[in-house]
Structures are given as structure tokens and as C-alpha cells.
């Protein structure tokens, strides 16, 4: 960690105070930018429809009510079924957890190979794989539908996991490869001399060092997969729809009466697992970084 303030410790308590205050001021200003929409979402979700219709959208709720939250979780209509988001949560979990684990693992192995086991053409292969990060999902939708139909995975959660793993490989490989490049080659050489093989080196040397990048990768993959709507709606059928499809159904009804408070509550509920991942992973973020630098 960089102790950049140590230099100022003796050159002036006041100077340190000023810089520190400036720091917090800046952080605070940015925090307002980031928190503004959340503030609006939370306050709207706690108002009654009447208040939303008649009041200003930025006001605090005159009367706090949690009815919208209850509706969003278990009562909102997502079609004929009016059971809120609850029935769809499990589908998303069944989808996201395996997909994140598998794509992260594959990415780690790929990154390890490309960064440490240089062979002819490794960089070319890496570049080709990277391009997979840029393909817009709309392009992929129709041919993938065809393929899923042929291999008989259409409409199932396994099919969705399959799709998300395939399109996650580009990113996970990128993250791990860029991280592993900074680990000196001597480490692998020394281990090979000691008689360790490919997987041994990976498991005992690289994995332990990878905590920060595993955190970043998991955060990215979980977010992308959990919040994905396009694949979720096209490759599922009744019974396997993830929570984003349900959220969309609650929020985007075209000609019905819009219940903004329920919409906001539903969006926050749908985001809770991802937020949980951020908070939990964040702890490892701190722990990982002290072990981040490689010494001998």
C-alpha cells in the first residue's frame, strides 16, 4: 500500500489537514453523483401512488409505506401470475452461480496458459479470443437460438448457463491474463525445476495470488449474467425465466397503469444479490491487496 501521506507528516499538520479535507470533499461530491438516482428510487418506492402522481418526484415521502416492497416481492403481476419477483429468483441463482464459477475457472486457466506458458501463436490466439468481447448480443441471438434448438438445450437453464459461459470466456481470460503477466516467469521456471507440473504450479502458486483478480472477475461476471435480459428472455420458457424477465414484465407494461413505487422497489430487490456479491467480495478485496505484491 502506498503511504503517500507519510512525507507530509512532519512538514505541517495543517497542510495534511487541508489535503485530507480536500480528499473527503472530492469523495463526497462524487458520492452525491452516484447516490442521487438511488435516493430517488428509494424515496419513490416508499411513497404511495397518490403521492407520486401529485407530488414532485424529488420530495421525501410524506407518508412512508412499505406496501410497494411487499407487492414487488410477492404480489406484482408479471403476467397472469401475480406473485412478484419471488418465483423467479431461484432461476437466476441456478443460472448465475454455475455460469460465474465455470467461466471464472476457465478464464483463470486460459489466462495462466497465455501469460506464463508462451508458445508460438499464443498472443494471436489471445487477440482472437478478445474479439469475442465485442460481439453485440443481438447479432448472436438468432444463430444461437438455432444452435440451442439443435443441441436440445433451448428453453432450459443449462442452455442459458452454456450461452453465458461462452460469451464470458473472452472477459475472464482477459482479466486473468493481464493479471498473471505481471508475475515473473522465474517463478514458474523455479517450480518446474522443483518438479512441479502444469496443474500443480497453477493450484499452489497462481491461485493463492489471484484473490484480487478473482474478486474483480466474479463481480463483473455475476453482474453481467444476473442483469442480462436479452439472452434470458430469448432462451427461456415459462418456468425457467430469470428475474430480469420478471422485472421487465413488472416495469414495462405498455398500456397499463404504471406503478412507479412498485417498479423502483422491484429493481432494488432484483439488484440485492449483486450488491451482496459486491459487499462480500469487497472484503476480500482488502485482504487480497496486501498479498498482492509478489516478493521472491
Partner 1 sequence: MSEWLEKQLPKLVLAPSFVAILIFVYGFIGWTAWVSFTKSKLLPRYDIVGLIQYDRLFVSPRWDVAFSNLFIFGFLFIVISMLLGLLLAILLDQKIRTEGIIRTIYLYPMALSLIVTGTAWKWILNPGLGLEAMLRSWGWESFSFNWLVDPNMAIYTVVIAGVWQASGFVMALFLAGLRSVDDEIIKAAQVDGIPTWRIYLSIILPSMAAIFLSAFIVLAHLSIKSFDLVVALTGGGPGYATDLPATYMYTMAFSRGDIGQAASSAMIMMAVVFAIVVPYLYSELRARND
Partner 2 sequence: MNTKLLIAATSALTISITSIAKAEPQAEVLHWWTSGGEAKSVAVLQEEFSSRGGTWTDMPVAGGGGDAAMTALRARVLAGNAPTAVQLKGPAIQEWYEEGVLADISSVANAQGWADVLPASIAGHMKCEGSWCAAPVNVHRIDWIWANATVLAENGISMPSSWDEFNAAATKLKAAGITPLAHGGQAWQDATVFEAVALGVGGPEFFHKAFVELNEDTLKSDTMKAVFDQMRTMRGFVDSNFSGRDWNLATAMVMNGEAAFQIMGDWAKGEFLAAGKRPGIDFLCASTPGDGFLYNVDSFAMFDVDGADKEEGQMLLAELIVGKNFQKVFNMNKGSIPARVDVALDDFDPCAHTSAQDMAASNAGGSLLPSYAHGMALRGAQSGAITDVVTAHFNSDMSSDEAVDMLVSAVANSM
Looking only at residues 118 through 137 of this chain, which bind partner 1 when binding is defined by CB under 8 A? 119, 123, 125-137
Task: Report whether 273 contacts 93 (CB < 8 A).
Answer: yes
* Cα distance between residue 94 and residue 98, in whole Å: 7
Distances (CA, A) of 152 to 14, 158, 159: 70, 10, 8
User: What is the CB neighbour count within 10 angstroms for residue 216?
Assistant: 17
Q: Which of residues 176-215 bind partner 1 (CB under 8 A)?
A: 178-179, 181-182, 197-198, 212-213, 215
248 binds partner 2 (CB under 8 A): yes
Distances (CA, A) of 78 to 52, 180, 260: 22, 45, 15
Q: Which is nearer to partner 2, 166 or 196 (CB)?
A: 166
Give the range of 61-69, 75-83, 152-160, 288-296 binding partner 1 by CB under 8 A: 288-296
Q: Site map for partner 2, 211-230, x if CB under 8 A?
A: ------------------xx
77 binds partner 2 (CB under 8 A): yes
Task: Report whether 178 contacts 288 (CB < 8 A).
Answer: no
Q: Among 101, 166, 187, 191, which residue interacts with partner 1 (rule: CB under 8 A)? A: 166
Minimal distance in Å, beta carbon 97 to partner 1? Answer: 16
- Among partner 2, partner 1, none, the one that 179 touches (CB under a kind-dependent 5 to 8 A) is partner 1
296 binds partner 1 (CB under 8 A): no
Q: Among 9, 17, 18, 26, which residue interacts with partner 1 (rule: CB under 8 A)? A: 26
In 3D space, the residue among 113, 106, 114, 212 whose CA is nearest the CA of residue 164 turns out to be 106
Q: Among 84, 98, 107, 155, which residue interacts with partner 2 (rule: CB under 8 A)? A: 155
Positions in the binding site for partner 2 (CB under 8 A)? 53-54, 77-82, 141-142, 145-146, 148-149, 154-155, 229-230, 233-235, 237-239, 245, 248-259
Amino acid at each position: 500500500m502506498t503511504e503517500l501521506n507519510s512525507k507530509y507528516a512532519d512538514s505541517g499538520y495543517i497542510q495534511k489537514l487541508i489535503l485530507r479535507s480536500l480528499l473527503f470533499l472530492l469523495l463526497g461530491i462524487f458520492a452525491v453523483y452516484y447516490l442521487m438516482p438511488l435516493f430517488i428510487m428509494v424515496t419513490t418506492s416508499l411513497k404511495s401512488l397518490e403521492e407520486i402522481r401529485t407530488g414532485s418526484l424529488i420530495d421525501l415521502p410524506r407518508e412512508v409505506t412499505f406496501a410497494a416492497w411487499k407487492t414487488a416481492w410477492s404480489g406484482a403481476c408479471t403476467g397472469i401470475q401475480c406473485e412478484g419477483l419471488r418465483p423467479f429468483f431461484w432461476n437466476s441463482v441456478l443460472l448465475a452461480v454455475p455460469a460465474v464459477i465455470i467461466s471464472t475457472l476457465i478464464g483463470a486457466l486460459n489466462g495462466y496458459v497465455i501469460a506464463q506458458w508462451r508458445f508460438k501463436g499464443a498472443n494471436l490466439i489471445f487477440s482472437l479470443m478478445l474479439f469475442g468481447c465485442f460481439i453485440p448480443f443481438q447479432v448472436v441471438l438468432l444463430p444461437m437460438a438455432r444452435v440451442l434448438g439443435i443441441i436440445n438445450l433451448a428453453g432450459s437453464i443449462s442452455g442459458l448457463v452454456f450461452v453465458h459461459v461462452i460469451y464470458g470466456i473472452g472477459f475472464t481470460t482477459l482479466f486473468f491474463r493481464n493479471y498473471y503477466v505481471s508475475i515473473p516467469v522465474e517463478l514458474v521456471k523455479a517450480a518446474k525445476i522443483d518438479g512441479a507440473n502444469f496443474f500443480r504450479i497453477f493450484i499452489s502458486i497462481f491461485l493463492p495470488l489471484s484473490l484480487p483478480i478473482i474478486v474483480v472477475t466474479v463481480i463483473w461476471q455475476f453482474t453481467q449474467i444476473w442483469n442480462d435480459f436479452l439472452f434470458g428472455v430469448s432462451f427461456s420458457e415459462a418456468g425457467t425465466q430469470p428475474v430480469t424477465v420478471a422485472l421487465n414484465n413488472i416495469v414495462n407494461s405498455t398500456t397499463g397503469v404504471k406503478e412507479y413505487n412498485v417498479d423502483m422497489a422491484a429493481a432494488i430487490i432484483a439488484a440485492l444479490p449483486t450488491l451482496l456479491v459486491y459487499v462480500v467480495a469487497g472484503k476480500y478485496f482488502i485482504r487480497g491487496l496486501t498479498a498482492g505484491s509478489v516478493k521472491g
